[in-house]
Amino acid sequence: MAARTTKSPATYADLEALPSNRVGELIAGVLHSHPRPALAHAQASTALGEELGPPFRRGRGGPGGWVLLDEPELHFSSDVVVPDLAGWRRERMPERPDAAFLTLAPDWLCEVISPSTGAIDRGEKIPLYAREGVTHVWLVDPLAQTLEVLRLDGATYRLIATFCDDARVRAEPFDAIELELAALWAH
């Protein structure tokens, strides 16, 4: 099922009214709704969290110092977005707030690209993340088997690297470890 978009000014109440099997986001007053991710998308997101969690969240085999969350709801002014993964350096978020959503922009986030969400992820959310000062954005495409690493450079992002297939990579800001891309595409 494709993404649905409303063109009239949408509110948080519209977001809350969505069925539980849909993910919704508000960007510039427009409600974007899409089905829960397909299995290739879910596999890539889950595997990436499994790879980054021990060394960066827990400090096992890596430097630690990060708060990593799956699908956090982020409120930036009137925009509400749900990236697939997001991370905050502990010095910026020493304790996770007891709240349903966050207003503090992450230091890093990852969007797993799906056919139904790719245009919104790239065309609408990337500029929003730049506006909010998210330092690094990763775009993971499980169908193309690619990882694009973007770094904020002024008001826009610069493509730092593109990795593909089964490469073993060091990708900032998590370049303290070698990431096995094959784990993201495994069946």
The pLDDT value recorded for residue 1 is: 43
Measure the CA–CA gap between 41 and 45, rounded to whole angstroms. 6
pLDDT block averages, 10 residues each, the chain of length 187: 63 91 91 86 91 91 93 96 97 92 98 92 96 98 97 97 96 96 90
Residue 159's φ and ψ, nearest 5 degrees, are -75, 115
CB of 66 within 8 A of CB of 94?
no
Structural domains of the chain in order of their starting residue, each with its CATH number = 37-185 (3.90.1570.10)
CB of 69 within 8 A of CB of 85?
yes
The pLDDT value recorded for residue 23 is: 87
pTM for this model (two decimals): 0.91
The pLDDT value recorded for residue 58 is: 86
Q: Closest Cα partner for 61 from 178, 180, 182, 183?
A: 178
Measure the CA–CA gap between 83 and 107, rounded to whole angstroms. 13
Measure the CA–CA gap between 147 and 112, rounded to whole angstroms. 9
The pLDDT value recorded for residue 6 is: 56
The pLDDT value recorded for residue 93 is: 95
